[in-house]
Amino acid sequence: MERTFVMVKPDGVQRGLVGEIISRLERKGLKIVAIKMLKITEEMAKRHYEEHKSKQFFSSLVSYITSGPVVAMVVEGNNAVKVVRKLVGATNPSEAEPGTIRGDFGLDVGRNVVHASDSLASAEREIGLFFTPDEILSYEREVDRWIYER
């Protein structure tokens, strides 16, 4: 099982889409093993988006992600990174397929509702930024035998 990081961004929280996003992840069969609502500090935002540090939009990205509460999650499942990225859709909502989160709820790349790790390495780094190991649970679900062939 893989674990990946998902964050409902301030626009998703303000628009009341947290439940919808969680519901889509769970309906797919993914398991939420950690979740919390928080307001990201500027320092944390800079660490989270450090790969964009040299880009022109970095300061506006930091300003935006710290502008309101977010919901951070660790999501688990087979091929979780790839599956979540497919559910989330393209970064630019105008290029995202209908039926994806961004395709259904986004109009602007700067307000694209949700963040999802793009690789296992990113997932590990981002999970470590937002969660301590003791905040991440391991548990069995009876429904998993109906989701995964064993």
Catalytic residues: 115
Angle formed at CA 52 by CA 49 and CA 54, multiple of 5 degrees: 135
CB contact set of 77 (below 8 Å; sequence gap of 6+): 1, 2, 28, 29, 30, 31, 83
Angle of CA points 97, 99, 63, to nearest 5°:
75
* Helix 18-28 with 80-88: angle, nearest 10 deg: 130
Q: Which amino acid is at 60?
A: S
